[in-house]
Structure 1
Amino acid sequence: MAWGDVALNALDIFNHELMLFAAIGFLVGGIDDVAVDLVFGWQALRHRRHGNGERLERLPGPEHRLAVFVPAWDEAAVIGAMLQTALARFDHPDFDIYVGTYPNDTATIDAVRAIADRDARVRLVIGDTPGPTTKAACLNTLWHALQADTRRSRHVHAVVLHDAEDVVHRDELRVFDALTRRYDAVQLPVLPLVDKGSRLVSGHYCDEFAIAHGKHLPVRQSLGAALPFAGVGCAIRTDMLARIAALRNGEPFDAGSLTEDYELGLTVARLGGTARFARIRTTNARDASDLVAVRAFFPGSLDAAVRQKARWMTGIALVGWDRTGWARPAALGDHWMRMRDRRGLVAMLVLAAAYLGLIGWALGVLGHALVDRPIAPVGPVVSSLLAANAVLLAWRLALRACFVGHAYGATEALWSLPRAIVANIIALLATRRALFSYVALLRGGALTWDKTAHRFPETARLTA
């Protein structure tokens, strides 16, 4: 047998095993996704039968004082517009905005001070440590400032978390005020803004949050699983934060975490606290069904998206696994959801195998054509797996388009189909970066705020 035939036979075997591995992996992941879809469908039918949920006009009026925390490192380009918009939009009589800055970031300090000098509701807080630290460390600085202020003034009922690029909703503080009377924490949906200049990269965040906050978090809530926070558009009662701080030397936000928002939600659940994911709609003159949600532009370049996704993956699937562990033994729904949180690395391994298999298959077709030898037919097992996965893929893409269409309209629903490929590429690159970051942390590397550059929509688009 010639060496060319040996190489071709080896390539065929390699392609077959790779295809089998990827097909089984996709099937397991697809069944897992369908199980979530079934839970969501059952809950949707129940809600339709018993009404469409809470609306803003049915909630009690404002009653408590709230504090909004905005950590800001190198945010001079957006923080001024964000604060002006928030001050103009928030429909609540009693709130303050605490902005955390760093002594070596004078541009951001000046931008915040320009607003604070004109509006007493903005409190500029300059930390002692030069930046960047972790985001959680900045939030702890704000917590200490709030504690010092509270000793001299009235009690603050809850802390609301936002980022410097967030476009706040006018009614969100009213929702937080009302719901934190019943729950220890409340998370609003996050809806990324459509960036027409980056329809593929930035746009894939629209798809992912439409599904995550349209389906996955409601399913977690219905199963009684711990509710991870998004880090923005969430409110935590100060008495709950004080309980957490008592366990961490006076600091409620874990400065040793890359994803303090995700872990904070699990911590609230571990302490027996209650959390609510709130999809509240209100009626107004512009839109008959307006969702109270947080909106923001997400990274528009490939490099920025990869860095952000890598941080999430490192914090949740790698470092976070060691830090947060599993739920109570009998909390099967919580175990299932945490397993889904951490399946990203395995999913990327399966995806990489699939793409590598496609390349190998193309080489195999070329090789067989050169030696004029037919390709061996795919066996019945692999054929059945491929057929099942094709059906599951079509289902996932159709459901993805439905959720995106519900949140953004038909145009973005169509864009969600090619963006699925872009999302896979970003995830693969992020996995590689996350693994290198994790190894660096294991070797004693320092945690830093690996943030991306932000942008804020034009003022003309933000009518109060």
Structure 2
Amino acid sequence: MTYFTAGEWLVLIQQELLLFAGVFFLIGMIDEMAIDLTWVWLKLTGRKKTRSIGQNVAGTTPLRGKAAIFIPAWQEAAVVGTTIAHMLSVWKQAQFSIYVGCYRNDPETMDAITRSAGGDARLRLVLHDRAGPSTKADCLNRLFAALEEDETRQGFRARMIVLHDAEDMVDTAELALLDEAMDQAELIQLPVLPVPIAKSRWISGHYCEEFAEAHGKTMIVRDAVRAAMPLAGVGCAVERETLARLAQSKRHKRPFSAECLTEDYELGIGVAELGARVKFIRMRDADGRLVATRACFPAELAQAVRQKTRWVHGIAFQSWDRLGWSARPTELWMRLRDRRGPLTALVLAAAYLLLVLSTIGWVLGELGYGVSFELTTGLKIILILNVVSLVWRAAWRFAFTWREYGWREGIRAVLRMPVANIIAIMAGRRALGAYVRSLFGQLPSWDKTEHVAHPVLIRAQSGAA
């Protein structure tokens, strides 16, 4: 029987961790480079250029059909009033109604909603017939039912349904742009642009680079390869008849699955599977400002982990069970990317453990203890490629963040990479636990993020136009 000393065990564990993490990092590098190079090819061939909107697309442009804006709300008294007031002030069209859903046991939110409207007839407060919270999808189903009731009673048929959250700052041109694009597709997604919060540069700030890269590159590639569009849940529109078709395809005859944690993601996949046309639209106004939904993301670590836990649980675990896979190569590729969250968390955890053990080994070696960690040729190649991959990823992250936020935020984006990794590890572990509990009968609930900051208020404080 062979016995190993403590130092030899340390070296053996380091080798295994390096091999495990290094190989999976290389697989991830190939995946990301495929996206990067596809995006470069699209740009060079002019197939996906960011265009400027025309003068006929503005907050005063009449809509060609009725639009229904759905805003589900639970304990959102701090922000929902600002969102509604801003919508009603920048969208001058008469052909839309805002349906805001809240619960009978949430009087503060109800009060904020009614006060913000100022008697504007375009607002429709929808009271859920049950105590909250249920799930966001359940609240959206209640809003859809309210729209159906209004259509029957008033004799109209909505052209499109637009989804937003209670903390969003909409773009002036959004509604007219979605209305115009509805001629080209039945499902449309506009970019989301997180607003930096000065007091949370490291936690809330890391969303800036993630969305800048995802909605500046990855979604463009998905659109080009005709893969299903994972909706962000805000700044997206679906044709009314298409949503009705989706509802009829479900057992409960409602478009949103109440037991789903990421109803926006599932909506995008479900609509695409009906054969509907999906489109990601990235445009700028005459001043070069991106037409996007602006929002503030969690400023505290616990809240960020909580939010990303819901995303990983819903997209990686629930959708695997509920949506399955696809025989189309590009769609299979994208679903693999969508569901890599738990594996990414595991690989990152292994890499950070390797870093800790390597530091311990180096210190012991300097003190005259332990066994030196000699890299084999194969491990050296893996390590070199991993370093190249890290530099490559950092460069892309800097570039896309710089484009939307400036070079200072671009540098912060690179420095924040370890923060994003730690949040991913914590969220992956928490999501796995939540999924296991769901297998034993624990039903999901609205594990919502607390919202306090609002982009409109931040803009007003900074004196921005």
TM above 0.5, yes or no, is: yes
Out of 278, 283, 301, the position equivalent to 1:280 is 283
- 1:384 is the counterpart of 2:381: yes
* Counterpart for residue 120 of structure 2: 119
Give the Å deviation of 1:372.
Answer: 5.2
Q: What amino acid maps onto 1:185 in structure 2?
A: L
- 1:205 is the counterpart of 2:207: yes
Give the Å deviation of 1:300.
Answer: 0.4
Distance between the aligned counterparts of 2:27 and 2:50, measured in 1?
33
Q: What SS is found at the alignment partner of 2:238? A: strand
Q: What SS is found at the alignment partner of 2:5? A: helix
Q: What amino acid maps onto 1:165 in structure 2?
A: E
Pairing of 1:289-308 with structure 2 (within 5 A):
289-308=288-307
* Counterpart for residue 394 of structure 1: 391
Distance between the aligned counterparts of 1:105 and 1:149, measured in 2?
24
Out of 446, 449, 461, the position equivalent to 1:449 is 446
Call closer, same or farther: CA 1:372–1:58 in 2, change over 3 Å: same
Distance between the aligned counterparts of 2:294 and 2:262, measured in 1?
20
CA deviations 1:54-105 (Å, max 9, x no partner) are: 6233669631111111001001111111111110011433111010010000
* Counterpart for residue 225 of structure 1: 227
Call closer, same or farther: CA 1:458–1:67 in 2, change over 3 Å: closer
CA deviations 1:387-440 (Å, max 9, x no partner) are: 111111101001000000011111110110111110000001101110110011
Unaligned runs of at least 5 residues, structure 2: none
Identity %: 45
Unaligned runs of at least 5 residues, structure 1: none
User: What is the number of residues matched between the two proteins?
Assistant: 456
* Counterpart for residue 258 of structure 1: 261
CA deviations 1:162-208 (Å, max 9, x no partner) are: 00000000110001111112211110000000111100000000010
Give the Å deviation of 1:369.
Answer: 3.0
Q: What amino acid maps onto 2:312 in structure 1?
A: M
8 Å CA contact 1:11, 1:360 repeated in 2: yes
- 1:241 is the counterpart of 2:239: no
Distance between the aligned counterparts of 1:458 and 1:91, measured in 2?
18
| RMSD of Structure 2 on Structure 1 (CA) | 2.0
Distance between the aligned counterparts of 2:371 and 2:132, measured in 1?
63
Pairing of 1:315-394 with structure 2 (within 5 A):
315-327=314-326, 329=327, 331-371=328-368, 375-394=372-391
Q: What SS is found at the alignment partner of 1:70? A: strand
Q: What SS is found at the alignment partner of 2:69? A: strand
* Counterpart for residue 24 of structure 2: 25
CA deviations 1:275-297 (Å, max 9, x no partner) are: 110112221xxxx2121100010
8 Å CA contact 2:169, 2:456 repeated in 1: no
Q: What SS is found at the alignment partner of 1:76? A: coil
Call closer, same or farther: CA 1:369–1:116 in 2, change over 3 Å: closer
Distance between the aligned counterparts of 1:52 and 1:376, measured in 2?
50
Distance between the aligned counterparts of 2:72 and 2:320, measured in 1?
25
Pairing of 1:30-109 with structure 2 (within 5 A):
30-47=29-46, 52-53=50-51, 55-57=53-55, 62-109=63-110
* Counterpart for residue 461 of structure 1: 459
Call closer, same or farther: CA 1:460–1:315 in 2, change over 3 Å: closer
8 Å CA contact 1:56, 1:175 repeated in 2: no
Q: What amino acid maps onto 1:259 in structure 2?
A: T
Q: What SS is found at the alignment partner of 2:200? A: coil
Q: What SS is found at the alignment partner of 2:45? A: helix
Answer with 178-187 or 140-149: which moved more. Answer: 178-187
TM-score by length of 2: 0.94
Q: What SS is found at the alignment partner of 1:228? A: coil
Q: What amino acid maps onto 1:195 in structure 2?
A: I
* Counterpart for residue 162 of structure 2: 160
TM-score by length of 1: 0.94
Answer with 167-176 or 365-374: which moved more. Answer: 365-374
